[in-house]
Amino acid sequence: MKEESKLIQIIGRIASGLSVLMYVSYIPQIIANLNGNYGNPIQPLVAALNCIVWTIYGYFKPAKDWPIIIANVPGIFLGIITFCTALH
């Protein structure tokens, strides 16, 4: 049982890291938006809203779910920034 719990923790950390990388991948789109090559603003807006809901969920669980919180906070900020810079 303890090994399974450790495995789940490792998977949670890997998933959190991959989620952060997914949202960091917005940075090239933000740069392109700022250079006048605007992308569609809908996807990053929906991603930011999704991250807000997941962060709230992780925070208000009886035992805070830090992998979920850590994985989604960058998506809130980078999604909003990407959305705002994509508006033209």
pTM for this predicted structure: 0.85
Positive or negative torsion for Cα 43, 88, 33, 54: negative
Summarize the confidence of residues 4-24 as an average pLDDT: 90
* Choice among 7-16, 26-35, 57-66 with the minimum mean pLDDT: 7-16
d(CA 85, CA 33): 6
Token pair 């959190």 is at which residue?
Answer: 16
What is 2-86's CATH number?
Answer: 1.20.1280
Contact indicator for 69, 59 with CB cutoff of 8 Å: yes
pLDDT tens digit sequence for 27-55: 999 999 999 999 999 999 999 999 999 99
- Selection from 70, 8, 79 nearest residue 40 by Cα: 79
Positive or negative torsion for Cα 23, 25, 29, 31: positive
